[in-house]
Amino acid sequence: MQTDTDPATTAIESAESRRDAALAGTRAIAPLATGLIPLALTVGATAARAGLPPLVGWASSATLYGASGQLTWIQMTHSGAPAALVVGATLLVNMQMLLYGAAMRRYWASTSRRWRVAAGFLLVSPVFAVATERFRTEHDPVRRRWFYLAAGLTLWTTWLAVTGIGYAFGGLPSLPVLATLSPLVILSLALRAVRDTATLAAMVVASTLAIVGRCTPYDIGTVAAGITGIATGLVVSRVAHTEAPPSGNAEP
Amino acid sequence: MSTWITLVAASIVTVALSAGPSLIGTRSELPAILRHANRFAAPALMGALAGRSLANQASTTALVPVLASVAAAVPVALRTRSLSLPVVAGAAVFVVAAAIG
């Protein structure tokens, strides 16, 4: 049996399919992007008030995409930490990207290296969340790519625009409550990562040590506190694991 | 200039983390210790930054409003898992505590 396929019709259907996938990506990320507006405003304002050279703080929204890494970089740079320490702390706080990247590689296996770098750049927690959810039911690689690209670019442009607004307002006269917003956002990010006793222990030990060692030169105390917190989490997790019977729960 | 350099370096490192696994290959697994330690990187590092910046804030303004704002933000964060609500709660309590104090 022979089937007639009109190339023009196929091209139109293909374009519509890609457009639908892109629209689905934008729709999927929109609620998450909206929810991030207060955070983006605060990050922008923090960048403006950190005393960095003009526009560097806002440029960090474009290149160092992601609230945790960006705030870490801003705070460490603001405190005058050496370059290696700033980059090292940003690396540590962004370690979760390694897991996201590892989880996404099976979806990116058939793509070009250029695509993988671009997709990696757009990979942040909300994009990872909507993409992995979508990819469970979407098996067409082209539609997957358009979905991912639309979701990633929507969030990135929203982040860039809203942090820009925050950056513009950050230069307004100083109020103590505005200066408190940034530490509260960082605290919220830390508490959001607390899932069990081990992660709570990691956070409590790290924050306590950072307070004690906040006068150390070059902000070494903060990084040392973070590393000690990670070690504490590992130890507590190991102790809890050896004491408790295996539950069979897989880590997300 | 050095600020731009650290920004570019930190950006490259971040993209390397997210794109690296797919560029290296699709078969190799991350070392177990790295996967395990990764769970604690965000709470530990962000906790350290939060502790330091809150302590700095307390030393430049006043201790009680900062402590009160943290006391308000922590339960809201743990209960709602939201990023915005703890900030709103903490800021509101900070304003009230600063006004009273």
Same domain? For B47 and B3 the reply is: yes
CA angle A86, A97, A234 (to 5 degrees): 80
Q: Do A179 and B61 touch (CB under 8 A)?
A: yes
Tell me, what's the pLDDT at A159? 94
Q: Which of A89, A91, A94 is nearest to A224 (CA)?
A: A89
A208 touches chain B (CB under 8 A): yes
Which residues constitute the domain of residue B45? Answer: 1-60
The one-character DSSP state at B101 is -
Distance from CA of B96 to the nearest CA of A (A): 10
Question: Quick one: pLDDT band at residue A1, thresholds 50, 70, 90?
Answer: very low
* pLDDT greater at residue A189 or residue A225: A225
Share of chain A above pLDDT 90, in %: 29
Distance from CA of A8 to the nearest CA of B (A): 35
Do residues B70 and A25 touch, judged by C-beta distance below 8 A? no
Same domain? For B77 and B29 the reply is: no
Q: Which of B6, B16, B54, B34 is nearest to A191 (CA)?
A: B54
Same domain? For B12 and B42 the reply is: yes
Task: Give me the mean pLDDT over the B61-75 stretch.
Answer: 91
> Is a pLDDT exceeding 90 seen at residue A144?
yes
First CA to last CA across chain A, in angstroms? Answer: 48
Q: How many CB pairs under 8 A join A and B?
A: 300
Distances (CA, A) of B74 to A40, A64, A192, A206, B95: 20, 27, 10, 16, 17
Same domain? For B94 and B80 the reply is: yes
Tell me, what's the pLDDT at B27? 62
Q: Do B15 and A96 touch (CB under 8 A)?
A: no
When mean pLDDT is compared across A105-109, A246-250, B8-12, B37-41, the lowest value belongs to: A246-250
Task: Give me the mean pLDDT over the A240-248 stretch.
Answer: 62
Same domain? For B44 and B6 the reply is: yes
Task: Give me the mean pLDDT over the A138-158 stretch.
Answer: 93
Of B4, B5, B56, the CB nearest to A214: B56
Task: Give me the mean pLDDT over the A75-90 stretch.
Answer: 89
Tell me, what's the pLDDT at A81? 87
Same domain? For B20 and B44 the reply is: yes
Q: What is the tally of structural domains in chain B?
A: 2
Same domain? For B13 and B33 the reply is: yes
Same domain? For B52 and B70 the reply is: no
ipTM for the predicted complex: 0.83
